[in-house]
A and B are shown apart, each in its own frame.
Chain A
């Protein structure tokens, strides 16, 4: 079973010296080969420590973890051979030229000279860095550094790629480019574990997501399943022209299957006068559209807009942890 998974984590704990509590506290999860797995959580949740253990930079104080069947504590050389890490902050070798950063990285991993020269040129072209291959990396922009770190990570053809907050601090264009690359790499068979506190990113990229808080994994499921976690997670958004907010709230509450009705404060300063927004939570919000419209008309109000809204991961997160991500 263990050798089947690309990443396997069992009951993992880490307590740093002099810390009062565990940074990672009994975490277990598996990432199958070829999967994209997201670790989601606020700062201090234990994501970086978990990645640290899996990339041999942190020694666990309890439990065990393995990469492609190799124990991360007892077989570090094999683990290092199989993994690649793209860290949060650029850590490019500034004494070398861009192309050398790639070729030396491959040399550290024992890739033969010809292979590493060819692979470096190929990756530099793919990532749009070939023209500037003979510069030093400190002239590179944030987005270019990120791309170069990804190229470096791929130089030794790893099986598992760790991306620590990959699109943090990137401009929207670089972010889209990166998302595309991550998907393409995954399609080529690379297993990817990424940490993020960007919910859209996790939703878009990950096949499975584990939400972490205070060193524990709260849930671990597909994005679609996670969104069903909020009771009455789907909701109906109503924008209504009315002056009898309370009466309408009561009418909506009385509809079958409704669990909760909220009046949503309108943050748009240009919002139409007299229009109130309601959010109606129900298990099957979509089937309520007709009833809701009917209730509004009966109350003498006029409908401006009705839409069915799915829960976002952000809401799931807030629901589970009681806190915002940032």
Chain B
């Protein structure tokens, strides 16, 4: 009916569809921003307050602990924000809502829809990670300390952490069935949070070798350690930064590949 539109190339059509999809998600994220912040910050605020402020004040944690804790909280908040940003909506959408069909029927390949989900979730994770800094400064007061000579490493780590969460989220979101949600969240989130070196530095585990080995399966470990390298003042032992970056990039690539595959299987039969 409208012949002129049929002249634009497939690539241009796909880019247009992708941009519009991204715009839609940014509009929706913006509208739910307060809710998003509350969701992303509630837990970290309490963790920072209890573990970073209360425990050291009453002498149950060493003073230096706060500086080690802060990067772990940044890692956890960022990863959970991006992970939840993609997993839950995707499980519901693929399970029964099928709101996503509108975008799958847009003139773009189906994998682009998955990629857009990753991108927007990474943005959410990055925002969540960044907001921990002002919030941390507010809660911790004098105990708030971040080194400023490794800003590029810090920026890289926040983005990698958010992307890791998004990639895991894509995989989880396409594998989990709606009726399994609560069970899977318990089975995955609890171990993820507690074996991810958020509340303790990885090198300190050398006396509990078996546990140190277990933490290495958890991507969050690498995020926490990389952020410790970029944030904690002075010379503290951390996992080697180069290995952290390599491990995260490999992990992101693997989860993205597997998640996109399962995504395609769910939307095209």
A residues with CB within 8 A of B: 16, 52, 55-59, 76-78, 80-81, 83-85, 87, 89, 91-96, 100, 104-105, 107-111, 152, 157-159, 189-190
Contacts and interface: CB of A to CB of B under 8 A. Distances in A.
Contacts of A55: 105
Contacts of B105: 55-56, 80, 83-85
28 contacts: A55-B105, A57-B101, A58-B269, A59-B268, A59-B269, A77-B107, A77-B109, A78-B10, A80-B108, A81-B5, A84-B105, A85-B101, A85-B105, A87-B98, A89-B98, A91-B98, A92-B99, A93-B102, A95-B31, A95-B32, A100-B27, A105-B102, A108-B106, A108-B107, A109-B106, A157-B2, A158-B1, A190-B1
A52 B267 CA distance: 11
Contacts of B1: 157-159, 189-190
A78 B97 CA distance: 26
B187 interface: no
B122 interface: no
A89 B99 CA distance: 10
B23 A107 contact: yes
Nearest to A17: B269
Contacts, number: 96
> Is chain B's binding surface mostly helix, strand, loop or mixed?
helix
Interface in B83-126: 97-99, 101-109
A186 to B, nearest CB: 13
Given A91-B98, A93-B99, A109 B24 contact: no
B253 to A, nearest CB: 26
Contacts of B97: 91, 94
Given A56-B268, A57-B269, A77-B10, A91 B20 contact: no
Given A89-B98, A158-B1, 12 more contacts: A59-B268, A77-B109, A81-B13, A83-B105, A91-B101, A96-B27, A108-B103, A108-B106, A108-B107, A109-B16, A109-B107, A110-B13
Contacts of B103: 108
A93 B98 CA distance: 9
Nearest to A105: B102
Nearest to A137: B99
B49 to A, nearest CB: 33
Contact of A58 (B20, B21, B32, B268): B268
Given A59-B269, A95-B28, A157-B1, A81 B6 contact: yes
Interface in B54-86: none
A16 B8 contact: no
A104 B16 CA distance: 11
Nearest to A93: B99
Contacts of A92: 99
A39 B28 CA distance: 38
B16 A110 contact: yes
A108 B10 contact: no
Contacts of A190: 1
Given A77-B14, A159-B1, A107 B20 contact: yes
A148 to B, nearest CB: 12
B20 A57 contact: no
Contacts of A84: 105
4 tightest A-B contacts by CB?
A108-B106, A107-B20, A91-B98, A110-B16
B5 A104 contact: no
A52 B269 contact: yes
A5 to B, nearest CB: 17
Nearest to B104: A57
Contacts of B21: 108
Contacts of A78: 6, 10, 107
Contacts of A81: 5-6, 13, 107
A57 B268 contact: yes
Contacts of B109: 76-77
Contact of A110 (B5, B99, B101): B5
B132 interface: no
A134 B177 CA distance: 33
B214 to A, nearest CB: 36
B227 to A, nearest CB: 32
B17 interface: yes
Nearest to A81: B107
A92 B23 CA distance: 17
Contacts of B102: 91, 93, 105, 108, 152
A311 to B, nearest CB: 37
A16 B106 CA distance: 25
Contacts of B8: 110
Nearest to B97: A91
B10 A96 contact: no
Q: Which of B8, B21, B24, B104 has the most CB of A within 10 A?
A: B24
Given A55-B105, A77-B14, A109-B17, A91 B2 contact: no
A267 B133 CA distance: 78
Contact of A108 (B17, B28, B268, B269): B17
Contacts of A77: 10, 13-14, 107-109
Nearest to B15: A110
A52 B32 CA distance: 34
Interface string B1-43: 1100110101011101100110110011001100000000000
A111 B102 CA distance: 15
Nearest to B265: A17
Contact of A80 (B20, B31, B107): B107
